[in-house]
Amino acid sequence: MELLERSLVDVADAVRKGQVSALDLAEAAIARIERDDTGSHLDFDPARTRAMARAVDEKRARGQALGALAGVPLGLKDVLCTKDARTTCASKILDGYRPPYDATAVARLRAADAVFTGKLNMDEFAMGSSNENSAYGVVKNPWDPTRVPGGSSGGSAAAVAAGLALGTLGTDTGGSIRQPAALCGVVGVKPTYGRVSRYGLVAFASSLDQIGTFAADVRGAARLLEVIAGHDPRDSTSVARPIDEWVAACGTDVAGLRLGVPREYFEEGLDADVRASIGAAIESLRGLGCTIVPVEMPHTKYAVATYYVVATAECSSNLARFDGVRYATRVDSKDLESMYGETRDRGFGAEVKRRILLGTYVLSAGYYDAYYSKAQKVRTLIRRDFDRAFEQVDAIVGPTSPSVAWPLGAKVADPLQMYLADVYTLPASLAGLPGVSVPAQPGASGLPIGLQIVTPAWSEARMFSLAHAFEQVSPAKGLRPRRA
């Protein structure tokens, strides 16, 4: 078996034992990236990757203990600050920007002896569901290059699916890890809000943004989360909670768990292939000894509207800092006000501008109570739907995305249809709950479909246990797109 076809956890263990060289792993990843045509990477520096790998091998040669990610090739979504590589957020306004520090999650990966393959493509400032909003080109789905990989972490999902890295970090504001994981046939994890520090994550919507993990299997995604999770005093939203052994949770018995199936997740708008696949997945979980319980989530239908008020309001505030004064891009003009306007006009893409305008509108005098204040109240109702459901069940299961990956360009001209691609991931995001997408039975076209599992806050161990149990019986287990 090729090095990059092995499990992330097994590879890290093999490097620690001296059975595999970190440099050999790096060379395998570099060779694949150099012939890759998915458009996943925005920053790729083979010399930097080799230097990190050599440092791991030299550390082992000195007899020093290696970290939990020893020698593992990992990619980073380009919204995470890195002191040794550009961080552009896939936007022209940050073209060439190099931060002076690492994000906390990135620093923790370094401390665990991971090896970085580069920075990964994304929708600009994490705003999008298809990775077609990047200022530096679209990402293609490794299963079918005529189709989208999902977004906004499309490069992160595609890199794992294409075998360019054993794992990646992404971010999830409304589904931007789980949805591309489903469309690319990999595992994608959004932890509980506050579980992972957001320090060094370029903010889109601060009450929603979260850093999470991608891997080819559940154990790999769990190992990555074990490394990056934990309290950080530099992030006021970071919570001091114990970090369970999530890899160890994979393989525990799930018999007796009660799984809620919301009626609202199986109504109009769900593709027939996805409906059939998720129905079969739920029956597989029943076969593992789980009890299936119908539940109602009546405010689900308001999740898209609520999200696009709350998220755009926070976006308009957070992105005000990109004005041509402090960061990378500046358009010189006749006066300060013109410089602000021209820099932002040329630096931001169409979708980012759309969201800034929407957010400014809903926060404006006379409209704040009608839109933003009301959306926050509905957000509370959505969270209470989960609270009531979790009084009856241990987890909620359903589709991750209403469809398989769609053709490139198919929804670009219709923002509403694009926004609806996240209809099943948005509720858990608004409630701050942990969720994972695990590959289920592919559709008739052969394209991936994801099962979403959502559990109560701080119950990632249960989430990983269920995800791993399903993974073992899923017809998608071991399926990979054809490699270049």
**For range 289-311, the mean pLDDT:** 97
Active-site position among 21, 91, 129, 176: 176
Phi, psi angle pair for 293, to nearest 5°: -125, 120
The answer to the question of residue 210 being in a domain is yes
User: Using CA atoms, how far apart are residues 131 and 66, in angstroms rounded to an integer?
Assistant: 35
pLDDT value of position 483: 66
Is there a domain that residue 12 lies in? yes
What residue numbers bound the domain in which 47 lies? 7-251
Residue 331 scores a pLDDT above 80: yes
Q: 60 and 201: one domain? A: yes
Domain check: are 28 and 173 in the same one? yes
Q: Taking a C-beta distance cutoff of 8 angstroms, is the pair 169, 74 a contact?
A: yes
Distance of CA 197 to the CA centre of its chain: 15
Per-residue model confidence (pLDDT) at position 484: 53
Give the residue from 475, 423, 433 showing the smallest Cα distance to 454: 433
| Residue 468 in this model has a pLDDT that exceeds 70 | yes
Residues 32, 95 within the same domain:
yes
Does the pLDDT value for residue 257 go beyond 70? yes
Summarised one tens digit per residue, pLDDT across range 219-238 is 999 999 999 999 999 999 99
The tokens for 476 are 């998608």
Residue 169 DSSP symbol: E
Residues 315 and 244 in one domain: no
Residue 122 sits in the same domain as residue 232: yes
Query: Of 251, 267, 291, which one is at a domain's C-terminal end?
Result: 251
Taken as a whole, the chain contains a residue count of 484
Residues 239 and 140 in one domain: yes
Residue 146 lies in a domain: yes
Which of the 8 DSSP states describes residue 290?
A: P
The yes-or-no answer on residue 197 being catalytic is: no
367 within domain boundaries: yes
What pLDDT band is residue 136 in, cutting at 50, 70 and 90? Answer: very high
pLDDT in tens, 442-467: 999 999 999 999 999 999 999 999 99
333 in active site: no
What pairing do the DSSP bridges indicate for beta strands 450-454 and 395-399? antiparallel
d(Cα 354, Cα 308) in Å, to the nearest integer? Answer: 11
117 in any annotated domain: yes
DSSP secondary structure, 328-381, as one string: S-----SSHHHHHHHHHHHHS-HHHHHHHHHHHHHHSTTTIIIIIIHHHHHHHH
Contacts of 25 (CB under 8 A, 6+ apart): 3, 4, 11, 15, 53, 71, 72, 73, 115
Q: Which of 210, 225, 251 is the last residue of a domain?
A: 251
* Of 425, 463, 431, the residue nearest 172 (C-alpha): 425
What is residue 142's DSSP assignment?
T
Omega prior to 153 cis, within 30 of 0: no
Strand, coil or helix: 212: strand
Q: Residue 1 — pLDDT band, cuts 50, 70, 90?
A: low
> Domain boundary at 378, 413, 442, which?
378
What is the distance between the alpha carbons of residues 443 and 406, in angstroms, rounded to a whole number? Answer: 13
**Annotation says 77 is catalytic:** yes
pLDDT digits (tens, 9 = 90+) for 83-114: 999 999 999 999 999 999 999 999 999 999 99
- CATH code of the domain covering residue 150: 3.90.1300.10
Q: Which of 40, 91, 129, 152 is catalytic?
A: 152
In a domain, 177, yes or no: yes
Q: 112 and 247 share a domain?
A: yes
pLDDT of residue 329: 81
Same domain, 211 and 86: yes
Say yes or no: 146 and 242 in one domain: yes
The count of structural domains within the chain is: 2
Which is the catalytic residue, given 77, 92, 119, 190? Answer: 77
Query: What pLDDT is recorded for position 112?
Result: 98
Residue 266: what residue type? Answer: F
Give the tokens for residue 352.
């980012």
Contact between 471 and 451 under an 8 Å Cβ cutoff? The reply is no
Shared-domain flag, residues 143 and 227:
yes
Judge residue 71's burial from the number of C-beta atoms within 10 Å of its C-beta, 0-12 exposed, 13-18 middle, 19 or more buried.
buried
Structure tokens at 393: 């069940």
Residue 107: inside a domain: yes
Is 286 within a domain? no
